[in-house]
């Protein structure tokens, strides 16, 4: 087991290196880099100033990119580090990332690590609730559907979860806003932030209820579409296990149906659910969070990454990607370890037959 863990940790190094290298090369050669963006911003500011000056002074003073001399362009190139050779920038980036130094944002005047920390709370809040509710609802529902397979309950719940799966999260979010966010019907839930402005003045219980009041709509929009896959997977896995011989033997010994299901069947049916654990965890935290955060005015990592890509803020892009990749690899490792905890018969290291 320890040999496997060490081997997996060592494999993470080339994986991270490959992701960083590929992303670095893309950011170096993609058109419209940070220098070009800053020059465009200067152009826009100069044009606006020229229009205002022309309106008040009776003349037109803006002359386009001609107003930006080569010295200013060289200064911007040096400011963003693009005056250094490509190889030197690459080695410097790897050295900094090794000690989790992601550098400074090009346009926000703040370190990348501080930016990620400030946005992490929103994504963690949405991710934890989405992840927990997915398993807390889908697993018991899947077991109930397996026990009542073919019944009206099975048909109705399948219809509901598949309908939720078919509706995109942002569409459901718009519907929730229209219904309960003061759109056209009831003004019940707030639509901005995770807490109210008077958060510091609330009691402990008041803070809990205020937080739950704010996250109710975004969590609902994010979690509904994730029920179907886990519910149907749980149902099918339980149906397969229920038909095995050891279940008939346990029932013949007089064990209660509840004990058979939750002590014997559940343990064996848990492996496929653990297999999907890493993917569900990562999806809950990062996949689809951009639309939900934008829709409900939540300033999280999804929105930060999107804005950084648009503005070519490469330190933020690289730092966020590095962190996401590391979390994904560690989560996959935790999922593999969970296999052994659930079923000790699983061995990672094959033994050669003699």
Ordered by start, the domain boundaries in the chain are 32-83, 112-342
C-alpha to C-alpha distances, 250 to 267, 268, 343, 344, nearest whole angstrom? 14, 14, 19, 21
Per-residue pLDDT, 320:
86
Q: Is the dihedral of CA 194, 199, 205, 206 positive or negative?
A: negative
Q: For residues 317 and 76, what is the distance between their CA atoms, to the nearest angstrom?
A: 19
Contact yes or no for 265/103 (Cβ under 8 A) = no
| CA contacts within 13 A on the Cβ side of 296 | 37
| Digit-coded pLDDT (tens) for 133-147 | 888 898 889 888 988
pLDDT of residue 134: 86
Fold of 112-342: MetI-like fold (1.10.3720)
The pLDDT, as a whole number, for residue 169 is 82
Supply the angle between the helices 314-342 and 2-29 in degrees, to the nearest 10: 160
One digit per residue, the tens of pLDDT, for the chain of length 354 reads 677 778 878 888 888 888 888 888 887 777 766 766 666 666 666 555 554 554 444 443 444 445 566 676 777 677 677 777 888 888 888 888 888 888 888 878 788 888 888 888 888 888 888 888 888 898 889 888 988 888 899 999 999 999 988 888 888 888 888 888 776 778 888 877 788 878 888 888 888 898 888 888 888 888 888 888 888 888 888 888 888 888 888 888 888 878 888 777 877 777 777 766 666 667 666 655 677 888 887 888 878 888 888 888 888 888 888 888 888 888 878 777 777 676 666 665 554 444
pTM: 0.72
Ordered DSSP codes for 209-276:
HHHHHHHHHHHHHHHGGGHHHHHHHHHHHHHHHHTSHHHHHHHHTT--HHHIIIIIIHHHHHHHHHHT
> What is the model's pLDDT at position 50?
52
**So what's the pLDDT on residue 141?**
92
Q: What is the pLDDT of residues 290-299, one digit of tens each?
A: 778 888 878 8
CA 156 – CA 234 distance, rounded (Å): 17
Q: How does DSSP assign 160-179, residue by residue?
A: HHHHHHHS-HHHHHHHHHHH
| Closest among 66, 63, 69 to 51, alpha carbons compared | 63
The tokens for 5 are: 């863990």
């Amino acid at each position: 087991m320890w040999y496997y863990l060490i081997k997996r940790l060592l494999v993470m190094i080339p994986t991270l290196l490959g992701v960083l290298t590929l992303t670095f090369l893309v950011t170096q050669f993609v058109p419209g880099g940070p220098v070009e963006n800053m020059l465009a911003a200067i152009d826009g500011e100069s044009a606006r100033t020229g229009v205002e000056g022309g309106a008040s002074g009776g003349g037109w003073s803006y002359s386009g990119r001609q107003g930006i001399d080569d010295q200013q362009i060289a200064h911007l190139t040096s400011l963003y580090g693009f005056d250094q050779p490509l190889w030197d920038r690459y080695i410097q980036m790897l050295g900094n990332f090794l000690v989790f130094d992601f550098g400074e944002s090009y346009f926000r005047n703040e370190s990348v690590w501080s930016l990620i920390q400030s946005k992490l709370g929103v994504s963690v809040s949405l991710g934890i609730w989405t992840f927990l509710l997915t398993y807390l609802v889908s697993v018991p529902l899947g077991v109930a559907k397996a026990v009542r397979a073919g019944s009206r309950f099975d048909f109705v719940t399948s219809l509901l979860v598949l309908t939720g799966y078919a509706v995109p999260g942002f569409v459901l979010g718009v519907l929730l806003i229209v219904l309960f966010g003061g759109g056209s019907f009831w003004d019940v839930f707030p639509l901005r932030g995770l807490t109210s402005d008077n958060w510091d003045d609330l009691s402990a219980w008041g803070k809990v209820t205020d937080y739950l009041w704010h996250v109710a709509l975004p969590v609902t929009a994010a979690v509904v579409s994730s029920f179907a896959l886990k519910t149907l997977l749980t149902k099918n896995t339980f149906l397969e296990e229920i038909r095995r011989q050891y279940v008939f033997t346990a029932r013949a010994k007089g064990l209660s149906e509840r004990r058979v299901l939750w002590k014997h069947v559940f343990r064996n049916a848990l492996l496929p659910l653990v297999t999907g654990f890493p993917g569900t965890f990562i999806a809950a935290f990062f996949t689809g969070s951009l639309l939900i955060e934008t829709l409900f005015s939540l300033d999280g990592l999804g929105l930060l990454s999107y804005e950084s890509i648009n503005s070519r803020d490469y330190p933020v892009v690289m730092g966020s990607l590095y962190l996401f990749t590391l979390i994904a690899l560690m989560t996959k490792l935790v999922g593999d370890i969970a296999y052994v905890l659930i079923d000790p018969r699983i061995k990672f290291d094959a033994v050669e037959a003699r």
